[in-house]
Amino acid sequence: MIVIDSSEPDAGRFIRDYEVLRMHSEDGKLPFQVYSDGQVVGFGVEGPDRVGLSQGRKPAYSLIPVAASPSLSEFAALGLEKARQRGLGYVYSVIDAEQGEVISGLEGGGLETLDEYYQMSGGLEGIVYESDSTTTFERVAEGNVEAFLRLFYESFRDSPDRLIALLFRDIYVSGAVAPEFIESSKKFFTGPDHYSYIVKHDGEAAGIIDMYETFFNAIGLLPRYRGRGIGRQSMLFAMNDLRQRGQKAITIRVDVRNVPAIRLYKGLGLTAVEHKVRLFKSVEGYKAKITLDFAKLFDAIAVQPDSVILDVATGAGTIPELLGEHLVAMDVSYDILKAGKSIYRASWICADAREMPLRRDVFDLVTIFAGLMFIPGRENKARTLAECFSVLKKQGKLILIEPKIQDAQSDLPISFNVMYKGKFIRQIGVGTKGEGLEQTAESLKGILKGLGFSVFEEYVTSEYFVLYCLKGDVGIGDSGSDR
């Protein structure tokens, strides 16, 4: 089976043929892969928000088959493997319930049936909502996001909707919502196109309603408030809210086993229009996330406002986002640079880090964050670090933030929570596989010393390391000539 990445030129032709790829590549700006064995079998779409509630936590890999095929099991197995290599947390797929052959094929590749649900839909015309003092609705703002998330978890913890329960289990730890998820959720749930509410009964929090500007997402009540008419009043409020924003209909997802909810929705005029099966698989080997506050990491090197900075293997644009316009961002992938250039203020160069097309003695600081891990072989890593030495000014600094890879042949998925001054910025998942990837603090320190760097500070854990390096006055290959 052939797998074509969205970064490859040949992938462009599939965007024209398949609407789902157009949506993901142009609107969502998410990378995708095409799986083909002579005909297109399906697509894998990667992103942290493929399931809304996973935002800021484990990124997902969504498998989208286009037809039943004997290759579907291989398609699913390869999707799981790709997700594991990239450090993603899980894989899922949503299939029409009558497509038994497709479901069997995906199960043959390692996915497992999670649940079944109906999409129910109905018009909003004729809906009568009358407010009362008993059941009220409080709009979610930054100050009550944590309470809203806690209610979301408690309302769905015993729900037949197993995916929501699984996702919230991951963000609700030791009786509290994970701090980085709270930070990422403040913008998400309080954005101008999001309409989330805490349902209150007699002044006490009873549940949640979650809606976007144009569609309904979820409703949930704490167990002790169910069966008391609060759900019906909440649905009438939500339907009226949507109608006031110009919507003509409402669509809601409900598990086929949730008989009371189905009865309620039918009583409000909704009917089942789709019957879906969700398949799901947590990715074996998903590593615990590493949380890094980059403001603290940069404190040790005293970054000045006018410092000239080079970020090598810039990837998703983490360093350009944090350090801004005095930065040169370099990566070997043109597609990555093109995406970053449209978002962050920096100068962008597409180049191989082993042969930098840059003048020497220019930069005050060179940063590499999860970049050396993709460069196989000690010699290639050394060439990259030698280029860093050349472009740095005398007494310039290099900071390496890299995962520890112990074995010469490795399969490493890893995920970072990126923080800055205590504020959650984003989560990124990275992964690599192959030979010659070994890198530890000790192995790189040997290379750095040979080049003329001195390591003046270091932080080493079992999973990653940070090395702060200073360029000496003379180093290997330092002839004083220009490029």
**Average of per-residue pLDDT across 224-239:** 95
Handedness of CA 212, 54, 76, 338 (dihedral sign): positive
Q: Are 315 and 370 in contact (CB under 8 A)?
A: yes
- CA–CA separation, 429 vs 57, rounded Å? 10
pLDDT score at 481: 37
Task: Summarize pLDDT for 28-61 with one digit per residue, the tens.
Answer: 567 788 888 778 888 888 765 444 444 445 667 8
Q: Are 95 and 219 in contact (CB under 8 A)?
A: no
Mean pLDDT taken over the chain: 83
Using a pLDDT cut of 90, give the percent of the chain over it.
43
Query: What is the location of CATH 3.40.50.150 in the chain?
Result: 290-471
Whether residue 444 has pLDDT greater than 60 = yes
Q: 374: which DSSP letter?
A: G
Higher pLDDT, 442 or 185: 442
Task: Summarize pLDDT for 195-204 with one digit per residue, the tens.
Answer: 999 999 999 9
- The per-residue DSSP string of 92-135 comes to EEEEETT-HHHHHHHHHTT-EEEEEEEEEEEE-TT------SSE
Whether residue 6 has pLDDT greater than 50 = yes
Query: What is the location of CATH 3.40.630.30 in the chain?
Result: 2-116, 126-247
pLDDT band at 318, cuts 50/70/90?
confident
**Average of per-residue pLDDT across 238-250:** 93
Whether domain 126-247 has CATH 3.40.630.30: the reply is yes
Of 43-47, 425-429, 477-481, give the lowest mean pLDDT range.
Answer: 477-481
Task: Summarize pLDDT for 285-317 with one digit per residue, the tens.
Answer: 545 567 788 888 888 787 888 889 999 998 767
Query: How many C-beta neighbours within 10 Å does residue 237 have?
Result: 21
Whether residue 398 has pLDDT greater than 90 = yes
Tell me the HSE value of 246 on the side-chain side, using a 13 A CA sphere. 2
Query: How many C-beta neighbours within 10 Å does residue 271 have?
Result: 11
CATH superfamily of the 290-471 domain:
Vaccinia Virus protein VP39 (3.40.50.150)
Whether residue 138 has pLDDT greater than 80 = yes
**Average of per-residue pLDDT across 345-368:** 92
The architecture in CATH of the region 2-116 reads 3-Layer(aba) Sandwich (3.40)
Whether residue 132 has pLDDT greater than 60 = yes
Task: Summarize pLDDT for 359-386 with one digit per residue, the tens.
Answer: 999 999 999 998 998 888 899 999 999 9
pLDDT score at 408: 52
